[in-house]
Amino acid sequence: MKPENLLMIPGPVQLHERIIKALGSQMISHRSKDFEEVYEYCREALKPLFGTKGDVVIISGSGTAGMEAAVASFSKVRKITCVSNGKFGERFAEIAWRYAEVDHVKFEWGDSIDLDKVRESLENGSEMVTFVHNETSTGILNPAREICKIAKEYDALVVMDGITSVGGDEVRMDEWGVDVCIVGSQKCLGAPPGLAAVAINEKAWEFYNERVPYYLDLKAYVKKAEKNQTPYTPAVPLFLALKEALKIIEEEGLENRIERHRRLAKAVREWAIEAGLELFPRLNEYSSYSNTVTAIKMPKGITDSELRGTLRNEFGITISGGQEHLKGKIFRIGNMGNVSKREIVATLAAIESVMLRKGVEIKPALNKVYEVLG
Ligand SMILES: *Cc1c(COP(=O)(O)O)cnc(C)c1O
């Protein structure tokens, strides 16, 4: 029998018992007071995580549905600057060309964003900027504050993918000047996959394009949200689970939660460095390592399937590989949601033992994990 699976990937994440229980609830009508209360709770509880006093609506669909709803609904622009340094930044460009001309300011996966290039693109007449705050494919945290600052100089709308930062790292939409921000339920919020929350500030409506795909029209969501309802039948079980996930966040306290994510990611990084492994992202003065996912170069002497396959089959631990051209070149460890020291130690100890057994030249480094986590 295979051991129970421990998910240490950047979403979906392991569910807290209470969330599993909520998922198994009897259905309620989405036009009932009961649902309205659930929806209202979720919208309000999400606001501090986004760092906004603006509107928050929830779409039944994965994070990508939120990305497309955000770009499409506010695409009354001629040109969009899509800044990318990884898979999810590129996804914005794949969405955006359907609605406007795109200037894709594209960097190598793992590279940092060169802010001068962003400025150059805006100088050439873009009215919207899209970027990913925490680029999950490479483990880099992009400089949201600085990008917003440049965008504001040109009065451009800022659409930020906060899918793997909201709920796990600091996001301050209003303070930074992010106009539209998206989060997915299955990442740092610790809920099951299938919901995308979109936070929208007033300015975005100047860019409203009514010829948005029907299901993704954020105006319809905002209008219905006045009555704490969704325009179409929502994924009710997921809303019930999300409410429980947000309650858990409230109980932990946002600051504590962010601090926990930071310490866990730091423990993974310090372990990797001490072991003699190499972190994947190439930082500049504005970027930093992700606090929710760590990307590490695959060392010599072991293949992706040997590492991840053995972890899965022998220890019941799932970590992620690299995506697309990074397949086999990196592996990624997520620490999103309700992860604790126990899962981090188990994961890193298992990786260490698999690598040592394969003869990979690394040094045992769990002492670093205890130094960071106590
Ligand atoms: C997971 C992820 C997405 C995509 O979300 P889906 O829920 O798979 O649609 C988008 N952006 C980032 C940064 C992600 O990590």
**Nearest residue by C-alpha to atom 5 in ligand 1:** 63
- Answer yes or no: do 247 and 271 share one domain: no
Ligand 1 pocket check for 161: Cβ under 6 Å: yes
- Answer yes or no: do 235 and 276 share one domain: no
Cα 282 to averaged position of ligand 1 atoms, centre (Å):
22
Ligand 1 pocket check for 234: Cβ under 6 Å: no
**134 Cα nearest atom in ligand 1:** 13
pLDDT of residue 4: 77
- Which residue, 211, 228, 252, sits at the end of a domain? 252
**135 Cα nearest atom in ligand 1:** 13
Using 70 as the pLDDT threshold, list the residues of the chain that sit under it. Answer: 1-3
pLDDT of residue 251: 98
- Answer yes or no: do 184 and 56 share one domain: yes
pLDDT of residue 367: 97
Q: Domains in the chain: how many in total?
A: 2
**Any domain includes 174:** yes
- Which residue, 236, 252, 268, sits at the end of a domain? 252
pLDDT in tens, 260-315: 999 999 999 999 999 999 999 999 999 999 999 999 999 999 999 999 999 999 99
- Answer yes or no: do 240 and 295 share one domain: no
- Answer yes or no: do 196 and 150 share one domain: yes
Which domain covers residue 302, as residue numbers? 6-13+253-373
- Answer yes or no: do 152 and 229 share one domain: yes
Cα 118 to averaged position of ligand 1 atoms, centre (Å):
23
Ligand 1 pocket check for 293: Cβ under 6 Å: no
Q: Which of 60, 64, 292 to mutate to test the pocket of ligand 1 (most atoms within 8 A of CB)?
A: 64
Ligand 1 pocket check for 336: Cβ under 6 Å: no
**184 Cα nearest atom in ligand 1:** 7
Cα 22 to averaged position of ligand 1 atoms, centre (Å):
23
**Any domain includes 1:** no
pLDDT in tens, 87-136: 999 999 999 999 999 999 999 999 999 999 999 999 999 999 999 999 99
**The three-state (H, E, C) secondary structure of the chain, written as one string:** CCCCCEECCCCCCCCCHHHHHHHCCCCCCCCCHHHHHHHHHHHHHHHHHHCCCCEEEEEECCHHHHHHHHHHHCCCCCEEEEEECCHHHHHHHHHHCCCCEEEEEECCCCCCCCHHHHHHHHHCCCCEEEEECEECCCCEECCHHHHHHHHHHCCCEEEEECCCCECCECCCHHHHCCCEEEEECCCCCCCCCCEEEEEECHHHHHHCCCCCCHHHCHHHHHHHHCCCCCCCCCCHHHHHHHHHHHHHHHHHCHHHHHHHHHHHHHHHHHHHHHHCCCECCCCCCCCEECCCEEEEECCCCCCHHHHHHHHHHHHCEECEECCHHHCCCEEEEECCCCCCHHHHHHHHHHHHHHHHHCCCCCCCCHHHHHHHHC
Cα 201 to Cα 193: distance, rounded to the nearest angstrom:
25
CATH number at residue 344: 3.90.1150.10
- Answer yes or no: do 221 and 360 share one domain: no
- Answer yes or no: do 165 and 265 share one domain: no
- Answer yes or no: do 77 and 224 share one domain: yes
